[in-house]
Amino acid sequence: MSFQNQFTKTTTDANLMETVHHGSAEYPFRYYYENIALFDFKCIDWHWHSELEFIYIESGNVVFDIGTVHFELNEGNGIMINSKILHRLQSSSDAIIPNFLFQPSFIAPQDSLIYKKYINPVISSSLEYLVFQPDIPWQKKALEIIKTIIAVQETEFNREIIVSMSVQQLWILLLENLTFDQFENMGAVISRTRLQLMMQYVHAHYSENITLEDIARTANISKSTALHLFQNNLKLTPVKYLINYRLKQAALLLINTEEKIATISNNTGFNNVDHFCRTFKKAYKMTPTDYRNQERAPVS
């Protein structure tokens, strides 16, 4: 299967919400066949979306960061990521992940009894994700339904109706196997909210001369708590996250504008162009000029 016409970059707004719309108003479902290795740094970076997302690990290993949880899934596993949950995927090598996203209203209209009784309690709960493993009977069945939805994407005849029926079957299976304790983890919800507030602050103010104290203040926590949240959940410090985000914004400007290197350095929060060039080269393994030339080179 080809990886053409698939996204290889994750674009978000200042609130980390993904800017790509998955599906359409008349068919709010979208399927992707992706290789994480094709994304920058082999990483689908931090983002969230209102759609529910189901991922199957066809090959390779994938490291997930979902909310405040860090874990790895291997070939043959699957996962559901709940609506509006902050997450990131990365892999050290090729990782093929057929996946699909759909609005909760794809199961039933938002003003319906079905939505209020069977959908809203899940998407508005503290449940962040569900992992599916083939050695657990009900999860094996869920994986089979997920693979049916993936397989039918190759056909035209009755595809949409089969997808709709299969998604409903999958949802019923989830409801039958969810337990109350999966909805009761408010400590994780609070930590996730604080972390997301700080990440949003970095995205909105990265071009300014901001400090660790500024980042912590936006979540009304101490500097040590901010360090703990970033280190435990993102595996880096708030300052390192700020630098990485500045570099990503600089990379976008290099590709999409004609601005001089010094201007880009200044506009992304690097006050010294030599420091910017050294930092950029360390992260991207090439100079800003070489990166601009490579990314703009026509694909043969």
CA distance 164 to 168: 6
Q: What is the pTM of this model?
A: 0.74
Instruction: Give the CATH number, domain containing residue 269.
Output: 1.10.10.60
* Residue 290, pLDDT score: 93
Could you tell me if 130 and 193 lie in one domain? no
Q: What is the pLDDT of residues 163-174, one digit of tens each?
A: 999 999 999 999
In a domain, 18, yes or no: no
Domain count within the chain: 2
Q: What range does the domain containing 57 cover?
A: 29-183
Contact 238, 212 (CB under 8 A): yes
With a CB cutoff of 8 Å and minimum separation 6, the contacts of 213 are 223
In a domain, 15, yes or no: no
In a domain, 19, yes or no: no
In a domain, 1, yes or no: no
**Mean per-residue pLDDT for 130-144?**
96
* Residue 2, pLDDT score: 46
Q: Two tokens at 60?
A: 């390779």
Boundary of a domain, candidates 183, 212, 227: 183
Could you tell me if 172 and 207 lie in one domain? no
Q: Is the pLDDT of residue 135 over 80?
A: yes
Could you tell me if 34 and 173 lie in one domain? yes
Could you tell me if 110 and 53 lie in one domain? yes
Confidence bin at 188 (pLDDT 50/70/90): low
CA dihedral (132, 138, 141, 145) positive or negative: negative
Q: Is the pLDDT of residue 4 over 50?
A: no
* Residue 152, pLDDT score: 96
Could you tell me if 85 and 57 lie in one domain? yes
Q: What is the pLDDT of residues 79-126, one digit of tens each?
A: 999 998 989 999 999 999 999 999 999 999 999 999 999 998 898 887
* Residue 5, pLDDT score: 43
Residue 278 exposure: Cα atoms within 13 Å on the Cβ side: 5
* Residue 234, pLDDT score: 81
Measured in degrees and rounded to the nearest 5, phi and psi for residue 212 equal -60, -40
Q: Which of 60, 110, 56, 113 is nearest to 83 (CA)?
A: 110
Could you tell me if 126 and 152 lie in one domain? yes
Could you tell me if 203 and 241 lie in one domain? yes
CA distance 147 to 56: 8
Q: What is the pLDDT of residues 213-260, one digit of tens each?
A: 999 999 889 999 999 888 887 888 999 999 999 999 999 899 889 999
Q: Is the pLDDT of residue 29 over 90?
A: yes
* Residue 233, pLDDT score: 78
Boundary of a domain, candidates 183, 203, 234: 183
CA distance 24 to 258: 34
Mean pLDDT is lowest, of 4-13, 243-252, 285-294, for 4-13
Boundary of a domain, candidates 183, 204, 235: 183
In a domain, 6, yes or no: no
Q: Is the pLDDT of residue 25 over 80?
A: yes
Better-scored residue on pLDDT, 10 or 92: 92
* Residue 12, pLDDT score: 80
Could you tell me if 120 and 256 lie in one domain? no
In a domain, 4, yes or no: no
In a domain, 10, yes or no: no
Could you tell me if 166 and 38 lie in one domain? yes
Q: What percent of the chain has pLDDT over 70?
A: 92
Instruction: Give the CATH number, domain containing residue 122.
Output: 2.60.120.280
In a domain, 134, yes or no: yes
Could you tell me if 169 and 272 lie in one domain? no
* Residue 7, pLDDT score: 57
CA distance 105 to 260: 46
* Residue 183, pLDDT score: 56
Please list, residue by residue across 171-206, b when 16 or more beta carbons sit within 10 angstroms of its beta carbon and e when fewer do. Answer: bebbeeeeeeeeeebeeeeebbebbbebbbbbbebb
Could you tell me if 104 and 41 lie in one domain? yes
CA distance 127 to 108: 20
Could you tell me if 87 and 216 lie in one domain? no
Q: Two tokens at 36?
A: 């994480």
**Mean per-residue pLDDT for 40-52?**
90
* Residues forming beta bridges with residue 45, ordered by sequence position: none
Confidence bin at 181 (pLDDT 50/70/90): low
Measured in degrees and rounded to the nearest 5, phi and psi for residue 178 equal -75, 140
